[in-house]
Structure 1
Amino acid sequence: MNEPAVFDTVTKTMPDSNIHRGDSNLGGQQNHTFYHNVYGILMARSTHEGMKMGSPTKRPFVLTRAGFIGSQRYAATWTGDNLSNWEHLHMSLSMVLQLGLSGQPLSGPDIGGFGGNATPKLFGRWMGVGAMFPFSRGHSEKGTTDHEPWSFGEECEEVCRLALLRRSRLIPHLYTLFYFAHTKGSPVAVPTFFADPEDQKLRTVENSFLLGPLLVCSSTLSDKGAYELSHAIPNGIWLPFDFGDSHPDLPILYLQGGAILPVGLPYNHVGEANPQDDLILFVALNNDGRAQGVLFEDDGDGYGYTKGEYLLTHYVAEKNSSVVTVKVSKTEGSWKRPTRRLHIHLLLGGYAMVSADCMDGEEVQVVIPSISEMSKLIAASEQEHMKHLETVKAIPDIEKQPGQQGIELSKTPVDLKSGDWSLKLVPWIGGHVISMTHLPSDTQWLHSRVESDGYEEYCGTEYRSAGCTEEYKVVRRDLEQSGEQESICMEGDIGGGLLIQRSISILKNNPNILQFDSSIIARNVGAGSGGFSRLVCLRVHPTFTLLNPTEVAVSFKSIDGSNHEISPESGEQSFEGNLRPNGEWMLVDKCAGLCLINRFELSQVSKFLVHWGSGTVNLELWSEERPVSKETPLRILHSYEVIKASS
């Protein structure tokens, strides 16, 4: 990966001593520090230029994760390794828009999420909005469940089919937007407030965006579709429309008054398209009864456009009395206009429209119905649209299971937020804590990918033994808003009549303390065992991310009074007996000036283990290893606090 990523080092990148023999105009031979930030763009440029040398008449397509100012000249960008959750679906909209504002018009996320397993509704919703992104691609990590549209049931597959056909129809419009991105530097997708910069409420809108005059309103909430939300619409005329494909799990489309939107036929692949195929123009008049739009066309590959081998058509529409005239106002380029049918759809509101046909290049007139006829047409169209939405099959919400509250909660991500801490948990995958943010310092301490790492607990000395992947049930949830201490209690069945029970609390009387109280409990041990279980060990296994990998250490004083400072170069070390930390140890980040202190009941912990990874560290607490009974559970009570590091 071209950040560049080198996983077997503390910094997760090349060492500063690496020598790069750069071109003289870039600085010549320098160490890695000199070239690190531009490594990605230089790799993309080299790939782009190499592909042009190999196929001079073809346009290279390069996809990069890392980049720098100007990367858009050589490559598209995807937003990196995201997760299959609703939060990352929501984040993907802002990331694409911010990349566009930063000069990269061709970007998009891994639709469905890279790490973790998507659900049908999450995948379908993500595909619905992702098909509208400038760069649209599904991608997932090895070892996850299948992330193809047909892997999530027929309802999700149908939503994905509609979404991709919708994108196929919009290719003429998107291609035109990319032409302007190339010639004028304008983004393809922009925030909704671009339609009305003076409207301050639009500045906080994060579930919609603009593709030119096309407004895309989506839902990134698991429990509500786009049609169930109240969307902030910019001032002016915005008329809803569709291709007969409206669906509860797809975004809503609006066309701005004063715009003409060029649309093509639905294809399985752009290679099926032919310049002689029918062209559709959706027309939305402004308050003055006018509209305009542009269509850019060329051969789709090669560099003929640099020699004028293209066709740029400006369409205009103007209302005169009850007739709207649509015509070509001007053209640019040497391409001859294809011989094709032109279909005009004049939007009236409420999904209603009137239509007319002609040959492209000819002037065509569309007759507007009378006011009474238009009202009837709009009312009938709205009723038909609502009926359609009621009859189509929405993607089933399998994240909500019937039954007890505990089971239902265990299928929903849980947020704990109070005092100094904000946590996110996924009870259905080992009760993992996947996010542990210290709010005063705005520091995310955990390294996690939902299904692994983060904060885990095991019931044995083996790595990832029982307890880290089982589904946990939420048995109690207390909320600060109700005057209680913000906390959660979960239980996971680890077999043999044993449970891991974990309570996580942000202390009400000391809100800078995050407390974990975990036990292995014998709930139903067989009579033949004398009431005792198999050998078990409660192993607390948090994976912390290193904010500044070269400036961190684990520090503590042992029971015997000796002081220890363990650096990343030391690899893995364990401490037992009198070498155990005497009640606390801490992860010290000298650069950030922060210490993460882990305090514990010393009598409950028999072994401490430090394991340094690539940009991570595990600070593990191990109980003794023994059988448990109902009367003799294993327990580790410990807590975390962040303080300023002493200078």
Structure 2
Amino acid sequence: MITNTELEYKGDLYPTKIVSFEKNVDSFYFHTDNNVVLKVTVLRDSLIRFRFTTKGYFSNDFSYAIDTTQLHGYNALEFSDEVDYYQITTSKVKCKIQKADLRLSIYDLSDAVLLEDELGFHWEESYEFGGNIVKMSKASKDGESFYGLGDKATQMNLKGKRIENFATDQYAFQKDQEPLYKVVPFYIGLQNKQSYGIFFDNTFRTFFDFCQERRNVTSFWSEGGEMNYYFIYGPKMEDVVTTYTDLTGKPELPPLWALGYHQCKWSYFPESNVKEITAKFRELKIPCDAIYLDIDYMEGFRCFTWNKEYFPDPKRMVKELSDDGFKTVVIIDPGIKIDKEYSVYQEGLKNDYFCKRADGPYMKGKVWPGECNFPDYTNPEVREWWAGLFKELIAEVGVKGVWNDMNEPAVMEVPNKTFPLDVRHDYDGNPCSHRKAHNIYGMQMARATYHGVKKYTYPKRPFIITRSAYAGTQRYSSSWTGDNVATWEHLWIANIQVQRLSISGMGFTGSDIGGFAEQPSGELYARWIQLAVFHPFCRTHSSGDHGDQEPWAFDTEVIDITRKFVNLRYQLLPYLYTMFWQYIEEGVPMLKPLVYYDQDDTQTHYRNDEFIFGNQILVCPILEPNSVGRRMYLPKGEWYNYWTNRLVCGGKEMWIDTKYDEIPVFVKAGAVIPKYPVQQYVEELDFDELTLDLYYKEGIEKSVVYEDAQDGYDYKKGRFSFLTFQVTGKEKEVIIQLHKEGKFETNYSDYKINLIGLPFRIKSIQLNNEHEDFNCDEINTNGFLIVPKEFHVLHLMGA
């Protein structure tokens, strides 16, 4: 830990004057007379990397975070040598490097300052561990706001906060507690209606100070490694997030069932209990696609084993669950029990796959099985071995998903709750201590798990979920927010964490519905379900030591609310799937805080609660008990109340009345929202029509719908359906134009179009520019019409 304040420690060293520079294609090297080298690399016109070394040369350039498959390139690149500074100019920004002290400043093309160094780069020799404590301080203007940094349990706007990044098993964490399970050292700055991003790609313990220590200074520093960061220019927040997500990578599409509702508890056993739980979901007609098995399914908590007393025939059980629409997901932890009769341990020992202390012996730690050794997932050979261990679970037993837990890594009965810092790691051929590898340990475990599950699930798609993560983990796994608590405060925290992760590149996330620790009231559970069905990952999970936490553990009113909202999620699956497609294709976050949606409106800068689900649905959870309504901020535009279809103009704060079985949900005017019929699990039903809820707007609005076979990889061969609906609303007519891309043919034949908010009675209808003999009186009465899916233009006309 750094105990001295970051900015005032007297041992700090600084770069001196630049004595030489050189250019190599897209990289510029600046050398100072005290041996500091700055390498500036232009990756895109709006993406620039800054890398510092104090030893005169750079170590091997290696990162687990960066997606090496991403293409880079720029439209313009100029360099000039001015009297006091060097200037690098792209088609988007100018970067000035001061000759006297290497300080940086970045401007837009109209010379408005986007970001400038205060002290800039400085460092402190770390005599205890070797290397440097590296530091960076930036000037911050009044009114500047900051967002991002992953799963932080604090207000959305980080102004005035100090953040610590060190992956930690933080059971029953509280608001503002630091550090937490994930490390995403990426933040977004917003000032003067311009956004930029900073990604500090350093895996040591890192810190960020957003004007807490000094009012107009933002700083970030690390206990080791390089000062290595990326600057991303917007000017819109959406540009920053998209570029960052491209830089650190995107996942492949999940199977559609993974976006359904999941049920979990520590623990469901024996088999009869699992079957009882799944049967109850079907009996109550609450849709559910996945059932989870926690550590008790194993033999003495040994990974990749089954307790034959509890689960005498896992393959049969998993098939029977599958026949009833349930996919089985099992937990796998990193700790491998030290047991000479245990084959996984024998293999790891024989091949020298476990982590070692600095002076040679294997690192031991206590977790659920007792004393364990731990695989070094930073070794590619170990990752390949680990991937192979999933053959029996996936290919033979038929398990559909794997849940990685305890991978911060968590260790019991030691003060720091993790590995000793002297543990050694391969780090893909860049040997290092645990100080450097700690924050990426969980990521590399998830990576190895992903490759194993993918290999044996093929030709279907894999599903993996991890608790610990570093920037870029989204390429391999979904995640959840860890061991939360059944309190109203934690409902507030969950809402913010999932939004924050979404704009930090990690879209496929959710929280333990109802809280992992302690017992929620029925009301709290109901309100949590109402929020969580609008999270990309939707799972109830609890510790089990306080009783049951299934929907039927509460009264019939809670059961009905749960059914109502889970039904809504299943209806919205094509909308959610489309959101996911846009996330992986375009880097668009699935949840959008209001500031992302409209950064020019300063009223959004400190909003925590409301968010945009996808592009066209606004959600505001109820976060207090006994609520009959709440104040909320409706952003610019026109919005329909989902429950009443009443049209409201945005750009203002307003009071919204709610019922116990509702939360404020609004739909953007002009939107076309696709819906499936309610199913008890994905692919239960064949259906003849896709419902489209069309919300009238005077003007033009585009909506899209993505569909494919819901699993498998044919979508990568063009077998998908991507529909674009352009709706043009006028005083007495609506024109719906449909454009289709892709070779996938959906099973349904028609669209059922629900007409919402239409300000006129329909008198005539043209389909593909020809008059059709629709019963307009019936359509006006019922509020919908059915058309064949092959249509191109639908024209509704009033008198």
TM-score by length of 2: 0.43
Q: Which of 11, 19, 27 in structure 1 is aligned with 2:424?
A: 19
Partner of 1:620: none
Offset of residue 202 of structure 1: 2.3
Offset of residue 364 of structure 1: 6.7
User: SS state of the match for residue 168, structure 1?
Assistant: helix
The amino acid of 1:335's aligned partner reads F
For 1:175 and 1:143, the matched residues in 2 are separated by: 35
Q: Which of 261, 264, 272 in structure 1 is aligned with 2:676?
A: 264
Q: Which of 472, 485, 488 in structure 2 is aligned with 1:83?
A: 485
For 1:369 and 1:153, the matched residues in 2 are separated by: 48
The amino acid of 1:257's aligned partner reads A
Change (3 A) 1:16 1:195: closer
For 2:750 and 2:444, the matched residues in 1 are separated by: 46
Matches within 5 A, 1:83-232: 83-211=485-613, 212-225=615-628, 228-232=629-633
The amino acid of 2:516's aligned partner reads F
Q: Which of 407, 411, 427 in structure 2 is aligned with 1:2?
A: 407
The amino acid of 1:360's aligned partner reads K
Q: Which of 679, 686, 691 in structure 2 is aligned with 1:280?
A: 691
Change (3 A) 1:229 1:353: farther
Change (3 A) 1:363 1:241: farther
User: SS state of the match for residue 7, structure 1?
Assistant: coil
For 1:197 and 1:325, the matched residues in 2 are separated by: 31
The amino acid of 2:694's aligned partner reads V
User: SS state of the match for residue 165, structure 1?
Assistant: helix
For 1:6 and 1:78, the matched residues in 2 are separated by: 20
Offset of residue 362 of structure 1: 1.9
Q: Contact 1:159–1:247 at 8 Å: present in 2 too?
A: no
Offset of residue 279 of structure 1: 0.9
Q: Deviations over 1:299-348 (max 9, x none)?
A: 111211111111111112223552323231x2222213544221112221
For 2:593 and 2:577, the matched residues in 1 are separated by: 19
Q: Which of 343, 362, 378 in structure 1 is aligned with 2:752?
A: 343
Q: Which of 61, 70, 76 in structure 1 is aligned with 2:463?
A: 61
2:734 corresponds to 1:324: yes
Partner of 1:48: 450
Q: Which runs of 4+ in 1 moved over 4 A?
A: 363-370
Change (3 A) 1:358 1:98: same
Partner of 1:584: none
> C-alpha root-mean-square deviation of aligned residues, in Å?
2.3
Offset of residue 222 of structure 1: 0.9
For 2:587 and 2:726, the matched residues in 1 are separated by: 24
Change (3 A) 1:170 1:11: same
Partner of 1:562: none
Offset of residue 34 of structure 1: 2.4
Q: Contact 1:278–1:341 at 8 Å: present in 2 too?
A: yes
User: SS state of the match for residue 271, structure 1?
Assistant: coil
For 2:695 and 2:782, the matched residues in 1 are separated by: 10
Q: Contact 1:326–1:365 at 8 Å: present in 2 too?
A: yes
User: SS state of the match for residue 272, structure 1?
Assistant: coil
Larger Rg: 1
User: SS state of the match for residue 544, structure 2?
Assistant: coil
Change (3 A) 1:302 1:283: same
2:667 corresponds to 1:255: yes
For 2:491 and 2:432, the matched residues in 1 are separated by: 40
Change (3 A) 1:161 1:299: same
Q: Which of 611, 628, 640 in structure 2 is aligned with 1:239?
A: 640
Partner of 1:361: 790
2:742 corresponds to 1:333: yes
Change (3 A) 1:335 1:193: same
The amino acid of 2:715's aligned partner reads Y
Q: Deviations over 1:343-384 (max 9, x none)?
A: 11222189x9932221212257575778xxxxxxxxxxxxxx
Q: Deviations over 1:599-634 (max 9, x none)?
A: xxxxxxxxxxxxxxxxxxxxxxxxxxxxxxxxxxxx
Matches within 5 A, 1:372-451: none
Q: Which of 79-88 and 299-308 deviates more?
A: 299-308
The amino acid of 2:428's aligned partner reads D
Offset of residue 277 of structure 1: 3.8
For 2:470 and 2:460, the matched residues in 1 are separated by: 24
For 2:487 and 2:509, the matched residues in 1 are separated by: 20
Matches within 5 A, 1:447-458: none
User: SS state of the match for residue 325, structure 1?
Assistant: strand
For 1:369 and 1:335, the matched residues in 2 are separated by: 35
Q: Contact 2:733–2:798 at 8 Å: present in 1 too?
A: no
For 2:682 and 2:413, the matched residues in 1 are separated by: 42
User: SS state of the match for residue 81, structure 1?
Assistant: coil
Partner of 1:392: none
Change (3 A) 1:347 1:110: same
For 1:35 and 1:356, the matched residues in 2 are separated by: 59
For 1:177 and 1:297, the matched residues in 2 are separated by: 11
The amino acid of 2:617's aligned partner reads L
User: SS state of the match for residue 633, structure 2?
Assistant: coil
The amino acid of 2:703's aligned partner reads G
For 1:355 and 1:91, the matched residues in 2 are separated by: 40
For 1:365 and 1:247, the matched residues in 2 are separated by: 37
2:742 corresponds to 1:313: no
The amino acid of 1:124's aligned partner reads A
User: SS state of the match for residue 157, structure 1?
Assistant: helix
Q: Contact 1:97–1:190 at 8 Å: present in 2 too?
A: yes
TM-score by length of 1: 0.53
Q: Contact 1:121–1:156 at 8 Å: present in 2 too?
A: yes
User: SS state of the match for residue 90, structure 1?
Assistant: helix
Q: Which of 62, 71, 78 in structure 1 is aligned with 2:473?
A: 71
Offset of residue 11 of structure 1: 0.9
Change (3 A) 1:291 1:345: farther
Q: Contact 2:697–2:729 at 8 Å: present in 1 too?
A: no
The amino acid of 1:241's aligned partner reads Y
For 2:434 and 2:685, the matched residues in 1 are separated by: 47
The amino acid of 1:233's aligned partner reads L
Change (3 A) 1:249 1:183: same
User: SS state of the match for residue 205, structure 1?
Assistant: coil
Partner of 2:707: 297
The amino acid of 1:359's aligned partner reads P
Q: Percent identity?
A: 30
Q: Deviations over 1:376-425 (max 9, x none)?
A: xxxxxxxxxxxxxxxxxxxxxxxxxxxxxxxxxxxxxxxxxxxxxxxxxx
User: SS state of the match for residue 134, structure 1?
Assistant: coil
Offset of residue 250 of structure 1: 2.6
For 2:408 and 2:484, the matched residues in 1 are separated by: 16
For 1:84 and 1:162, the matched residues in 2 are separated by: 22
The amino acid of 1:253's aligned partner reads V
The amino acid of 2:415's aligned partner reads V
For 1:185 and 1:248, the matched residues in 2 are separated by: 36
For 1:185 and 1:214, the matched residues in 2 are separated by: 19
The amino acid of 1:336's aligned partner reads E
The amino acid of 1:281's aligned partner reads L
Q: Contact 1:284–1:291 at 8 Å: present in 2 too?
A: no
